Amino acid sequence: MHTSIAVTAILAFARVANAAFGFTATSKGYKVDTDGGLVFEVDKSNGDLISLNYNGVEYQGTGNASGINSGLGTSTVTAETVNGYVKITVKSSGNPVTHYYVAKSKEATVYMATNNQGEVSPGELRFLARLKTSELPTGVHGDVGDGRGCYAFEGDDTFMCDFGSTRSKMYTGDRFIEDKLHCVSGSKAQACMVMPGVAYETSAGGPFMRDINSQTTDNDQELYWYMNSGHVRTEDWRSGLQGPYALTFTAAGTTPSENLDTSFFGSLSIDGYVSESGRGSVTGKTSGVPDNFETVLHWFNKDAQYWTKAQGGDYKSPLMKSGSYTMKMYKGEFLVTTDSVIVTAGKTATKNIASKEITSAAIWRVGEFEGQPFELKNGDKITRVHPSDAQMRAWGTPSVHIVGTTKASEFPAALWSKLLGGQVATVSFQLTSAQVKAHVFRVGTTLSFKGGRPSVKVGSWTGSDPGAPKLIDSRGITRGAYRGYGEVYTWTVPASAFKEGSNTLTLGVSGDGDTNWLSANYIIDAIELQD
């Protein structure tokens, strides 16, 4: 009897001990018990996450491990307890990367930060959690990144499925300015990537950049956070500390806060971490952006980037590293002014900023100059499906817009040089005798592919070729991207091109490229004929 009681007590103590917060060395690596329902294990040879067990269920996928890119390869991996937190440091031998895993007691979260001091193989930097599809079958934005049962028809990342529907991991992204967390889910739990605070400060691309968030395959549900990539790349990589960021598990139907507190990283000797006390900020008033448009502020230099939205004409930046910054203000996503500001640790700089957008009265305008194509035909769908998707309305050639009759939602959001033999859009409009004079025609584009740029004809007049825009060496609209450099083109159309009564303007595409969807193209922001 006494022996039985003693054995029971020992077993009970063992269960409690196994649930205690901390780490233990195993034959493969270091196992961390968060005492919050999550037990994870890090491979001591390469720093991969090889186990993610939440509430007794293993969520780590059946294929490759989770980790940076497709693995950092041979690494020096150390584990320690620092100020009550578990800290695992992974120093890659073959890449200029040090990666950190951190655990906090009672939280089912793997906190992370990644210090890169240069570009890594294969030319991008991402954290990729490979999780079991059987346990977490629903990807970010549902099935837009689920290529199961489909076939690749453009590259190896864009798929055609039954009934003309299309899928790609490229369609799962959201603008960085809003993408503070994204999740994959199942019947028991969901796993989320959380990018709190200034996690994006060493990433590249600015507030409107979008990148891959998830991909659903037969075996693995892939959950990503892209820090730097070549997907519609518009600026150089930044080196330094990426994050802190986190992979967190919650019960099904429960979403974690997007504002995870990561200030404790300041007590962990994380290389490159800058605490709040080592940062400054900028505050001020904005003016000149109409109330019906979002006002976005953006600060950047070669080392860091930040952003915020103004509210009622007032703004306050995130806490920023000290330095000199270019400061931009956008009407929606349309750049309206550029300035500069110096940020000093422990201080708040004041900087009022006004729009310098020059607006002219327009005889007619299609769309709005706000840096987005969403109000035009198919523009509301281009971020989530391929342009050939059955959900798309026929792109048409010619697409005829009758001023005063046709809605902007009937004007194509994009034009291709070789689609349907050469796609054009036609605007039909009326002029009075007093309006038969020279006018400026303006076209705003948000993204170009293969040198695609507008060509324009009015009556017998043909506008000069503006020349190819700066090349972005990446597929664009077919991968769900719409944001590039945002070119604006203007032509002065002579009075001789116009006549009293009915007039026709034809908008086409100059450029080459491949055929159909991969021929030269551009995405339209807005067009107007100025008075």
* SS (HEC) of 357-392: CCCCCEEEEEECCCCCCCCCECCCCCCCCCCCCCCC
Q: How many residues appear in the chain? A: 531
For residues 192 and 235, is the Cβ–Cβ distance under 8 A? no
Q: Which domains, from first to last, does the chain contain? A: 2-267 (2.70.98.10), 276-354 (2.60.40.1120), 362-530 (2.60.120.260)
H/E element, 526: strand 521-530
CA distance 330 to 446: 13
Residue 391 vs residues 158, 272, 357, 383, 446: alpha-carbon distances, Å: 16, 46, 36, 13, 22
Determine what percent of the chain falls in helix, strand and coil, rounding each to the nearest 5: 10, 45, 45
For residues 245 and 75, is the Cβ–Cβ distance under 8 A? no
Output DSSP code: residue 177.
T
CA distance 228 to 465: 34
Strand partners, 445: 524
Structure confidence at residue 18 (pLDDT): 52
State the amino acid at position 427 in one-letter form: V
In 3D, which of 208, 66, 199, 68 has the Cα closest to residue 127?
68
For the sheet with 158-160, list strands across it. Answer: 151-154, 158-160, 166-168
CA distance 448 to 486: 8
Residue 393 vs residues 154, 256, 411: alpha-carbon distances, Å: 20, 38, 11
For residues 429 and 506, is the Cβ–Cβ distance under 8 A? no
Q: E-assigned strands of 137-278?
A: 151-154, 158-160, 166-168, 181-185, 189-194, 214-216, 220-228, 240-251
In 3D, which of 334, 326, 345 has the Cα closest to residue 367?
334
Other Cβ atoms within 10 Å of 158 Cβ, number:
24
Output DSSP code: residue 19.
H
pLDDT tens digit at each of 531 positions of the chain: 344 333 333 333 333 345 699 999 999 999 999 999 999 999 999 999 999 999 999 999 988 999 999 899 999 999 999 999 999 999 999 999 999 999 999 999 999 999 999 877 677 999 999 999 999 999 999 999 999 999 999 999 999 999 999 999 999 999 999 999 999 999 999 999 999 999 999 999 999 999 999 999 999 999 999 999 999 999 999 999 999 999 999 999 999 999 999 999 999 999 999 999 999 999 999 999 999 999 999 999 999 999 999 999 999 999 999 999 999 999 999 999 999 999 999 999 999 999 999 999 999 999 999 999 999 999 999 999 999 999 999 998 788 999 999 999 999 999 999 998 889 999 999 999 999 999 999 999 999 999 999 999 999 999 999 999 999 989 999 999 999 999 999 999 999 999 999 999 999 999 988 889 999 999 999 999 999
State the amino acid at position 108 in one-letter form: A
CA distance 22 to 13: 16
User: Is the previous residue joined to 122 through a cis bond, with omega within 30 degrees of 0?
Assistant: yes
Strand 279-287 and strand 353-354: the pairing is parallel
CA distance 483 to 111: 30
H/E element, 129: strand 125-132
Phi/psi at 197 (5° precision): 55, -125
CA distance 265 to 177: 23
CA distance 68 to 66: 7
Structure confidence at residue 9 (pLDDT): 35
Residue 87 vs residues 93, 105, 175, 360: alpha-carbon distances, Å: 19, 12, 31, 58
Strand 57-58 and strand 49-54: the pairing is antiparallel
Write the CB contacts of 526 (distance below 8 Å, at least 6 apart in sequence): 365, 366, 367, 368, 369, 370, 443, 444
For residues 512 and 451, is the Cβ–Cβ distance under 8 A? yes
